[in-house]
Amino acid sequence: MEYRKLGKTDLELSAITYGAFAIGGNMWGGNEKKDSIESVRASIDHGVTTLDTAPFYGFGLSEEMIGEAIKGYDRSTIQLLTKFGLVWDGSNQGKGEFFFDAEEDGKTIPVYKYASKASVIKEVEDSLRRLQTDYIDLLQIHWPDNTTAIAETMEALDLLLQQGKIRAAGVSNYSVEQVSEAQNSIQIASNQVGYSMLNRGIEQDLIPYALQHDLGIIVYSPMERGLLTGKYFNEGKLKENDHRNGYFQQFDLKKVKTFLDTIGPVAADKGISLSQLVLRWTSLQPAITVVLAGARNAEQAIANAEATAIDLTGDELSFIDTALSKI
């Protein structure tokens, strides 16, 4: 496993980081708790020291399972990353910015972007309880809240830093302009954003900014929610309540399949999976600090962890980039 320094902090994160969105269950067609916890532990046992979660994932369930999964491990060797700013329980009392309606157990649950100082403080206490820890290594705002001044949100993070409840402050889904504004208040360690072979928009602005200002970049959806594994084209239908049924329709699926068929021999020659090849390519892109990879069971978790051991030559990277240019 490779370990990388996050921005200007003293945090060392595993280049492949466990992404805990799917184990929360909501939006992913559900998952077995036993498999989820085993996937976390298998990740840790194979060098993945960094776990990324959020209160919204399963409405607290993902954080609770992470807290349970890390029992028995030395807490100081694990980096817990979580978020705030998506609320659903009415604690915002009608404030904030409506985001979308989530579905849970047949019920519609309105989700709001809300990051007032008081709300942030409350969310952190809830996360600490669910994670069964007394500090969070990196706390990130989940999505920008256009109803709360960035300076107010950053004031909450500064207080939490002073109290020792968080080790570093980050943002997620922020534009370069929003990151720059947040930096006027406190040191921002990182920005967590979507990035993949099929979604390279941040290369135009965020990556140059990160390189210039030593900002960490944590990327999610490197596999485009499983599309780049190739399984979608081979294994057929997803569960009816799986959000990916709609998500995948934004891509030219015929071109994506052609691309995966083109780079497949590179993976085959190395005796690795397409997933591992895609993860390794992503981790080698400029300014990318860590790559989030989800896993539903121990087998997937181990495969993800082993991706950083893959050696890609300059010719192989060029071959992949040429194939990508045709999508």
Catalytically active residues are 57
DSSP states along 117-175: HHHHHHHHHHHHHHHT-S-EEEEEESS--TTS-HHHHHHHHHHHHHHTSEEEEEEES--
d(CA 81, CA 97): 24
Which among 136, 202, 123 is positioned nearest to 169, based on CA atoms?
136
The long-range contacts involving 3-6, CB below 8 angstroms and separated by at least 24 positions, are: 3/49, 4/289, 4/290, 5/289, 6/138, 6/168, 6/189, 6/190, 6/216, 6/289, 6/290
**Residue 264, SS3 per DSSP:** helix
Asked whether the beta carbons of 294 and 21 are under 8 A apart, the reply is: yes
